[in-house]
Amino acid sequence: MLTHRHSKMWTALAVVVIASLACNIFSPAPTATPAVSPTPAASPTPLPPIPPNVIDQLPERGDELAPNGTITVYFDSPMNRSTVEAAFAIAPQVKGTFNWPDDATLVFKPETPFERASRYTVTIGTGAQSAAGLALAKEAMFKAETVGFLEVTQVLPAPDTQGADVTSVITVMFNRPVVPLTSLADQANLPDPLTLGPAVEGKGEWLNTSIFVFRPSTPLLGGQKYAGTIKAGLQDTTGGLLKDDFTWSFDTAAPTVVSTDPSDGATGLALTRPISITFNQPMDHPSTEAAFALTASDGSAVAGSFQWSEDGLTLGFVPSGLALGTTYAARIGASALSANGGASLSQPYEFTFQSALAPGILTTDPADGARDVPTFSGFRIYFASPMDVSTLDPNIQIIPAPTQVYTYWNDFDFSYYVGWNLKPSTDYEVTLGAGMKDPYGNTIPEEHVVHFATGPLQPQAYFNAGGQVGTYSAYAANTETYVSTVNVNRLQFSLYRLTLEEFAAFTGPDSYQAYQNYQPKPGATMREWSVNVESQLNQLILTRVPLLAEGGGALDPGVYFLRMSAPELSDQGPQTQLLVVSGANLTLKTSLTGALVWATDLNSGQPLANLPITIYSQNFSRLAEGQTDSQGVFTADIAQLTDLWTGIYAVSEGGPGKDSFAVARSDWSTGLDPWDFNVPSQFYPTDLTAYLYTDRPIYRPGQVVYFKGVLRKENDARFSLPELGAVNVAINNDQGEMVYSDTLK
């Protein structure tokens, strides 16, 4: 267990333990006597008295001393009272009296209260003696700080703030408790320390013992200077006084426009869309409405009605009617006032926008005449203005007709997307009828016809395998693979025999580099050939590819590398496949410190006994080796892995017949991972578990924080003491700054 504070009580406990052990160590051994004589009782030799020590004091370190409080000193043995009182000193000097609740406890009480915000040094000199006449082992000294004066530590809005929000809550924070903890029902009996000028109606409350907030019942006046005062004489819970008046001032923000809808320069505005202006504070309705004007580009005024948000921040203007394709200017004059008769706008505010254009089709994607359009592109229509979406689908005709269509409207760019399963190599005709309307009933004047043609599907070729490594039975009469292609006429193949080390490089942590840099060794090339594909345009073709010859044949057990390319895929690089040919199947299961292999025959499914097994790391260094037992099982302890994401290999070489080679890797587990079955798993080791706690749940500023920690070594839910001589401990604050760092033993 780690501890950051050594309690003085522990010293006394240690003394008692040492004394107890000493009694056993120094007791004389009993002397053997003849059987005819009775055995005398052992007489332990008493230990000499030991010097006394100061083991604790009040106030404790970090605690404050009340002006009318007392200082208490605790000893570990009864004391000679007069010598202790003579050895007691306090600086600055304070007259007082002594009291002894018992012979090991001294209490000093001053004749007059201690000075506030002062530090006193208490000393017990070595002249203090125990009741046995032994002098104090060493001089004891500690400091005691008295409770200070009440102070205002922070106010919000801060002093001299410019542009404070008119909805601000006024907050005053003190350096120590001013009121006791109480219920909300008793708040009315607590002091209200804040005075504001000019006067503001509202309600004050204590959030806790040292934070007071005042909530105005209505927003503050805009553009106004306010002064706050906390009168001197306010007392804290210890009787400490606020020595002087605390006064500060702040200025509230003048009214201003913070946003408009539409924004300045907006286009395509709906003819019936309201116009809104949002201010930074509640506004006076009559003066703000009188200061608003909306005019067209020809100078004519636009009539309409006003609406306001409940909080008074947003003015809405609903025009009686806007014209298509017209530019408008909206203006708020400087005569607009904030609510409650406050300040006016510092300057007029103006913004312009353009109403929606007459309905029309700007363009389409694909455009008319487009060729080789991708089958996944869909069809998008760009309109000049907002449209009545319900009139679009009935006026769109697609030839050849799709079976299922998906559509959506985009308000941002006035586009309409029409999606369907476009067929490759197909000519399409899309007719956009003249019946399409905008929301105001205006129609597109003439129909629009678009012709485009899709291109063929992109060429494709891939192995029909579940991953980069394919496993093939050595018992098969012919070793062959299957390839799927689209719009590919000819495939080219190269087959290479790999060494086990090359195979490990292809499947190890640097596999990318292995693929990029692979050059076949002399004699490794087994075959290079091409296969013609009976291709049909845009059709998926499955082709069987014998790996040894056209007539077939079986590969020997081992590992191989197969490359495939096609002229149509020259810009994509070759496709590759690793082949494992074996008559045996290895099931590999690992833990952080062990491996288990189960070997079975692929043909019969029976366990393979006495099969040689070697376990390799992900870098292909040997970890363990041995043979399977009669059940085909091999287990081994291995050097601890950093985590279970680290792949290891199980390899068998030298078995009989078709079982002469087999390989497995621990991460070949597609479909068999814990999450596939909703099973909880832990892939990282948890060697150590720590628990930290502090001496109290909450602290006042300046108080010392003490903490303890428990550290245990964990192994599969079993705990033991770790073999650690020291532990590094660091503590960060809520800003991520390190406030403590030490090495604890």
Q: Which of 331, 355, 379 is the last residue of a domain?
A: 355
Element (H, E) at 642: none
Whether 121 is covered by a domain: the verdict is yes
Statement to judge: residues 21 and 135 lie in one domain:
yes
Statement to judge: residues 446 and 478 lie in one domain:
no
Pair 488, 575: CB distance under 8 Å: no
Whether 65 is covered by a domain: the verdict is yes
Statement to judge: residues 103 and 208 lie in one domain:
no
Q: Residue 437 has which token pair?
A: 């309307």
Bridge partners of 275, per DSSP, are 317
- Report the candidate in 742, 740, 724 with the shortest Cα–Cα distance to residue 732: 740
Statement to judge: residues 6 and 112 lie in one domain:
yes
Cβ count within 10 A of residue 222:
28
Q: Which residues contact 323 (CB under 8 A, 6 or more apart)?
A: 271, 296, 355
Q: Which of 129, 146, 163 is the last residue of a domain?
A: 146
- For 164-184, the pLDDT digits (tens) are 999 899 999 999 899 988 776
Q: Which residues contact 527 (CB under 8 A, 6 or more apart)?
A: 493, 494, 495, 547, 548, 549
Find where tokens 């705990």 sit: 719
Give pLDDT, residue 714.
81
Whether 67 is covered by a domain: the verdict is yes
CA distance 626 to 609: 11
Statement to judge: residues 48 and 129 lie in one domain:
yes
Whether 658 is covered by a domain: the verdict is yes
Statement to judge: residues 591 and 602 lie in one domain:
yes
Whether 683 is covered by a domain: the verdict is no
Statement to judge: residues 589 and 576 lie in one domain:
no
Whether 682 is covered by a domain: the verdict is no
Whether 565 is covered by a domain: the verdict is yes
- Report the candidate in 648, 680, 683 with the shortest Cα–Cα distance to residue 663: 648
- Which residues, given as ranges, of the chain have pLDDT below 70? 1-45, 184, 342, 716
Q: Which residues contact 128 (CB under 8 A, 6 or more apart)?
A: 52, 79, 80, 83, 84, 86, 87, 88, 135, 136
Give pLDDT, residue 3.
42
Bridge partners of 415, per DSSP, are 382, 410
Residue 332: strand, helix, or coil = strand
Statement to judge: residues 124 and 31 lie in one domain:
yes
Strands 396-399 and 427-432: antiparallel
Q: Residue 281 has which token pair?
A: 């504070």
DSSP 138-204: S-EEEEEEE---B-EEEEESPTTEEEE-TTPPEEEEESS--S----GGGGGGS---EEEES---EEE
Whether 429 is covered by a domain: the verdict is yes
Bridge partners of 647, per DSSP, are none
Pair 216, 200: CB distance under 8 Å: yes
CA distance 663 to 500: 9
SS (H, E, C) 351-399: EEEEECCCCCEEEEECCCCEEEECCCCCEEEEECCCCCHHHCHHHEEEE
- Report the candidate in 491, 504, 503, 505 with the shortest Cα–Cα distance to residue 547: 491
CATH of residue 555's domain is 2.60.40.2550
Give pLDDT, residue 161.
94
Bridge partners of 732, per DSSP, are 738
Find where tokens 């490089």 sit: 505
Statement to judge: residues 576 and 589 lie in one domain:
no
CATH of residue 400's domain is 2.60.40.3710
Angle (CA) 113-115-120 rounded to 5° is 105
Statement to judge: residues 311 and 392 lie in one domain:
no
DSSP 80-128: -HHHHHHHEEEES---EEEEEEETTEEEEEESSPPPTT-EEEEEE-TT-
Number of compact structural domains in the chain: 7
pTM of structure: 0.54
DSSP state of 666: T
Q: Which residues contact 619 (CB under 8 A, 6 or more apart)?
A: 508, 509
Statement to judge: residues 11 and 132 lie in one domain:
yes
Pair 493, 545: CB distance under 8 Å: yes
Pair 652, 548: CB distance under 8 Å: no
CATH of residue 323's domain is 2.60.40.3780
Q: Which of 291, 320, 355 is the last residue of a domain?
A: 355
Pair 272, 317: CB distance under 8 Å: no
Q: How many Cα atoms sit within 13 Å of 552 on the Cβ side?
A: 5
**Where in the sequence is the domain holding 445, given as residue range(s)?**
361-454
Statement to judge: residues 293 and 222 lie in one domain:
no
